[in-house]
């Protein structure tokens, strides 16, 4: 079996070009170094060194050398990562829907440490549908998604209703008010939440027109250009020539909740982290929460 020690012996001998120096470098005597090299050559079925007056790599050895160095470097990085995780606690992998305001994302990232939960947190942003798939596949520990959504066996915390604002082009004096499309992200990212949002808009009895945008920055550009309106939970989103009003007619809150997989071995610890994240969510929308409806 090929081992890290085999690669260390090979690289040391390739760089030192001397059996005694290579043995001293890896902390062994010359006989076990020579034995380790013979085992490596037997495993690979090739000669790695020409042993004449000196020690020189064969063509096969020269081809192996960069790969051996890369493998040893990767092993070293993994060992360092493991040491950091033992010292700092496990890494918490959190996904957040892109509709969440940046200040809320920062509060979510800080929530586990404030609750006394050890570990380093890594945060990624992705659409709700992607987050659900990644939590189910074990690539994320938890996610903050838009509600409603089909959970497929995932556990979920309480729903937080975040207040939103309606951004529209500033009215021009004497100019007519035009009905503009609403900028939205693609329906495929969160189908149920998208449908609920559009249904709420349509509750006024008017036909709803939408224009699809990749993100809220692109949406804000359309608003500033007089081509669309936008409903956002990001209170910092603003531009010259854009008016902001509370999106309360009809009510259009951003609904968010935490999801995780209760079937994993670390489900109890993940559930504790989910409680801390849910607290951060509810803290961002005091008195505007919904029950645990799926």
Q: Do domains 4-87 and 164-246 have the same CATH topology?
A: no
**Predicted pLDDT of residue 294:** 42
Name the class of domain 4-87. mainly alpha
- Nearest by Cα to 23 from 5, 41, 39: 5
pTM of the model: 0.70
Count Cβ atoms below 10 Å from residue 140 Cβ, excluding itself.
24
- 81 or 262, which is more confident: 262
pLDDT tens digits for range 224-240:
999 999 999 999 999 99
**Predicted pLDDT of residue 83:** 73
CB 141 within 8 A of CB 263: no
Average pLDDT of the residues of the chain: 90
Angle at alpha carbon of residue 65, lines to 48 and 68, rounded to 5°: 110
**Predicted pLDDT of residue 175:** 55
Domain boundaries along the sequence of the chain? 4-87, 89-161+254-290, 164-246
**Predicted pLDDT of residue 288:** 42
**Predicted pLDDT of residue 52:** 73
Average pLDDT over residues 256-275: 94
Name the class of domain 89-161+254-290. alpha beta
pLDDT tens digits for range 152-194:
999 999 999 999 999 999 987 655 567 899 999 999 999 999 9
- Please tell us whether the domain made up of 164-246 is placed in CATH 3.40.190: yes
Cα(180)–Cα(292) distance, integer angstroms: 35
């Amino acid at each position: 079996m090929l081992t890290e020690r085999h690669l260390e012996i090979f690289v040391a001998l390739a760089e030192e070009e001397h059996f005694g120096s290579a043995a001293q470098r890896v902390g062994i005597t010359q006989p076990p170094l020579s034995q380790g090299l013979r085992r490596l050559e037997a495993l690979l079925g090739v000669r790695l060194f020409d042993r004449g007056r000196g020690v020189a790599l064969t063509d096969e050895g020269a081809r192996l050398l960069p790969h051996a160095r890369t493998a040893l470097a990767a092993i070293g990085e993994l060992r360092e990562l493991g040491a950091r995780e033992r010292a700092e606690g496990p890494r918490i992998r959190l996904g957040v829907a892109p509709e969440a305001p940046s200040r809320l994302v920062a509060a979510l990232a800080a929530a586990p440490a404030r609750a006394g939960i050890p570990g380093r947190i890594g945060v990624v942003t992705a659409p709700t549908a992607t987050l659900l798939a990644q939590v189910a596949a074990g690539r994320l520990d938890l996610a903050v998604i838009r509600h409603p959504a089909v959970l497929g066996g995932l556990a979920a915390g309480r729903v937080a209703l975040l207040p939103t604002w309606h951004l529209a082009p500033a009215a021009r004096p004497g100019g007519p008010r035009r009905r503009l499309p609403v900028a939205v992200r693609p329906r495929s990212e969160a189908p149920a939440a998208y449908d609920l949002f559009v249904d709420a808009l349509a509750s006024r009895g008017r036909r709803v027109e939408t224009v699809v945008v990749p993100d809220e920055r692109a949406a804000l550009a359309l608003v500033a250009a007089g081509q669309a309106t936008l409903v956002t939970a990001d209170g910092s989103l603003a531009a010259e020539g854009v008016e902001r009003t509370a999106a309360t007619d009809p009510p259009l809150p951003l609904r968010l909740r935490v999801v995780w997989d209760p079937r994993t071995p670390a489900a109890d610890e993940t559930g504790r982290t989910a409680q801390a994240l849910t607290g951060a969510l509810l803290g961002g929308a005091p008195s505007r929460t919904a029950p645990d409806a799926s």
